[in-house]
Amino acid sequence: MHSNFKEESPETGTLLRKTAQYLMPSHLTERADQKEGYNIYPSFSLGDNKIFRGYASLTEWMIGQKTVLIEGYTGVFYEQVQQAISECLAKRGLKANWMNTSDYLKPAAHIDQLVAPFLGAEESVWGTKCTLRLADFYDMDQLTAVAADETADLNIIIGPAAALSGWDAAILYIDLPKNELQFRMRAGSVSNLGTSELKEHFKMYKRFYFVDWVLLNNHKKALLNDIAVMADGQWPEQINWMYQKDLLEGLNQISRSVIRVRPWFEPGAWGGQWIKERISRLNKDVPNYAWSFELIVPENGLVFESDNNLLEVSFDMLMFANQQQVLGRHAATFGDEFPVRFDFLDTFDGGNLSIQCHPRLNYIQEHFGENITQDETYYILDCEKDATVYLGFQDDINPAAFKTKLKDSEASAEEIDITQYVQVHEAKKHDLFLIPNGTVHSAGKGNLVLEISATPYIFTFKMYDWLRLDLEGKPRPINIDHAFNNLDFNRKGEQVKKELISRPSVIESTESWQIVHLPTHQDHFYDVHRLEFDQEIFRNTDNCCHIMMLVEGESIRITTQDGTVHHYAYAETFVIPAASGSYTLTHLGAGRAKVILAFLK
């Protein structure tokens, strides 16, 4: 899933991160975030003197506290943090009494036993959402018995679970973006919580997704109102920080105006060239880009800016603090789980995705612990002349014969003429293909797909993958049995075109604008409109969250009810929270703009 682009520590030469993506800058050069076109580092400005840069200023704040709990996410380089703060203290002639929460972890073998029931079969890429608590990983008798040294200038407990010590002390929380955590994982510079053992990447990711992230997100949520300072730990030699009151105010502001997360990008076995050629400021020294995490919020962050300093926090901070403002009348249903995702699948000059399906609702709940399932749609943002989408079965599909053919192909590495079993459809720009759970499908080569979906994103049951290897030369996992536990074989023949290819209709119009309805399937809990306008269009949120993207036109301006103004370029995703009330979209180019809009039914 990545190239061999590497980044090492200048001091030790240790490999810190392995990725094709550049590290987000901690400080913008003036107007660097105002470049034309798609912005890979979108940020929300907090005004002056809100984000501070460097360990020196952070240490000054800590000195005034006397006792500090340095909390944070897994994957943070806590040793480097401690060293940097200690050096700043030494310059002041001060010394801290440090205590590390890793010293109070239960033995790794014991933690392995605790988490084993949530990790599924050894070679499976899926587990089940963990129901443990972070405290279960620690010897709580020892952790809560930790005492301060009254002779020290400063007493500090550092590491995840520091707040579980029970100390009445200021909390500094160091967050880490999920993409940077994975880049560190691939480099072998971090491991899973409670173990020093480095396993295969997919096993480490599985434990992150189903165990570490669940425990730490719940812990972060519980701490939210007690945190004094929030810091961003993605820069190995640098840190940016802000006071929690300013963070909460920033979250409150965007929950009533406009939200755009920081996207991130990944190469893949079938990846294409559209993203690589059309989105500037990305590293071009990669074979392709397969995905853009436009709005896959379990792994996206929100970036704030002040005095050109940047600070990123995980998207879930917004949902913990402002779910009602974001989701409006749907908050009672989804809570702090943002239910819709946008992402790109790029097969321009690339290959076909695997022939695949996604789990039915009861299956994903029972087997993987998710609340909602992976109901998808493919919106064709752009495509080559002969682009196609695989969707639904042929009318004469024989499930037993199909399964036998797939099993034989897996065992013998023989190609299949998949069109004998699966339908192939012409893909045209602005088409919407409907993929409710259990539907056989694949994006063919030559597409730039905007995938509009329910949020779950890793539960893909591959049946046939064209006999190819991943970018590291390893076979990609095939999941025929899981797929056949979920496939709907009634989605076949003429029924596919009737039910699974959206038929657009104009539902509102004037001379200068129209609203096109692209109906989704009855199983989808979200619907899709396309706003088409020459100059501007005004809309109400009706207490519902709107997820949007400019899909035709160069750029637009959005003005929300509170007077907030943002500009967005072609192919940028943005979210209008329910609490925004109303907004106006203004086209800044010639011709007619088209904006896709997804919203909860």
Give the C-alpha distances (Å, rounded to integers) separating 72 from 69, 171, 224, 234, 545. Answer: 10, 10, 12, 12, 30
Per DSSP, the residues of 534-592 read SSEEEEE-TT--EEEEEEESSEEEEEETT--EEEEETT-EEEE-GGG-EEEEEE-SSS-
Token pair for 96: 């801290």
Q: Is the pLDDT of residue 403 over 90?
A: yes
pLDDT, position 233: 97
CATH architecture for segment(s) 48-254: 3-Layer(aba) Sandwich (3.40)
* pLDDT greater than 60 at residue 501: yes
**Model confidence pLDDT, tens digit, residues 227-240:** 999 999 999 999 99
pTM: 0.95
> What is the reported pLDDT for 578?
98
pLDDT at 32: 45
User: How far is 536 from 569, CA to CA, in rounded Å?
Assistant: 15
Closest CA to 432 of 469, 379, 476: 379
Whether 5 has a pLDDT exceeding 80, the answer reads no
Q: Which of 587, 52, 516, 581 is nearest to 304 (CA)?
A: 52
Rounded Cα gap, residues 452 and 65, in angstroms: 47
Query: Could you tell me the fold of the domain covering 341-499?
Result: Jelly Rolls (2.60.120)
Domain boundaries for CATH 3.40.50 within the chain? 48-254
Residues of the chain with CATH 2.60.120.10: 341-499, 505-600
What is the amino acid identity at position 70?
A: I
Looking at residue 1, what is its pLDDT?
A: 34
Report the alpha-carbon distance of residue 419 to residue 441 in Å, rounded: 11
- The confidence score (pLDDT) of residue 580 equals 97
HEC profile of 64-131 = CCCEEEEEECCCCCHHHHHHHHHHHHHHCCCCEEEEEHHHHECCHHHHHHHHHHHCCCCCCCCCCCCC
Is the CB of residue 355 less than 8 Å from the CB of residue 440?
Answer: yes
Sign of CA dihedral 508, 509, 513, 516: positive
Look up residue 300 and give its two tokens: 């996206």
The answer, yes or no, to whether residue 4 has pLDDT greater than 60, is: no
DSSP state at residue 269: T
Q: Work out the mean pLDDT of the chain and round it to a whole number.
A: 95
Q: Collapsing DSSP states into helix, strand and coil, what is residue 378?
A: strand
Is residue 202 a contact partner of residue 211, using CB atoms and an 8 Å limit?
A: no
Is residue 128 within 8 Å of residue 161, measured between CB atoms?
no
Q: Does residue 344 carry a pLDDT above 50? A: yes
Spatial strand order of the sheet with 44-45 comes to 44-45, 301-306, 309-314
Task: Give the C-alpha distances (Å, rounded to integers) separating 17 from 204, 362, 382.
Answer: 15, 38, 33
Spatial distance between the Cα atoms of 205 and 306, rounded to a whole number of angstroms: 33
CATH code of the domain made up of 505-600:
2.60.120.10
Which range (153-157, 293-297, 414-418, 469-473) has the least confidence? 469-473
Residue partners of 397: CB distance under 8 A and separation at least 6: 421, 489, 492
* pLDDT at residue number 34: 52
pLDDT of residue 574: 98
Amino acid 33: pLDDT: 45
Question: Are 565 and 557 within 8 A, CB to CB?
Answer: yes
Query: For residue 374, what pLDDT band results from cuts at 50, 70 and 90?
Result: very high
Look at the block and give the residue holding tokens 């730039």: 448
- Is the predicted pLDDT of residue 2 greater than 50, yes or no? no
Pair 537, 509: CB distance under 8 Å: no
Ranges of beta strands (E only) in 267-349 are 291-295, 301-306, 309-314, 340-346
Structure confidence at residue 475 (pLDDT): 85
Q: Find the Cα–Cα–Cα–Cα dihedral 39, 209, 310, 60, rounded to 10°.
A: 180
Please, what is the angle between helix 78-91 and helix 55-63, to 10°? 70
3-state class (DSSP) for residue 601: coil
Q: What is the pLDDT of residue 13?
A: 62
| Whole-number Å distance between alpha carbons of 18 and 423 | 39
Least confident piece of the model among 223-227, 401-405, 468-472: 468-472
Segment 316-345 mean pLDDT: 98
Q: Give the pLDDT confidence score for residue 156 in this predicted structure.
A: 98
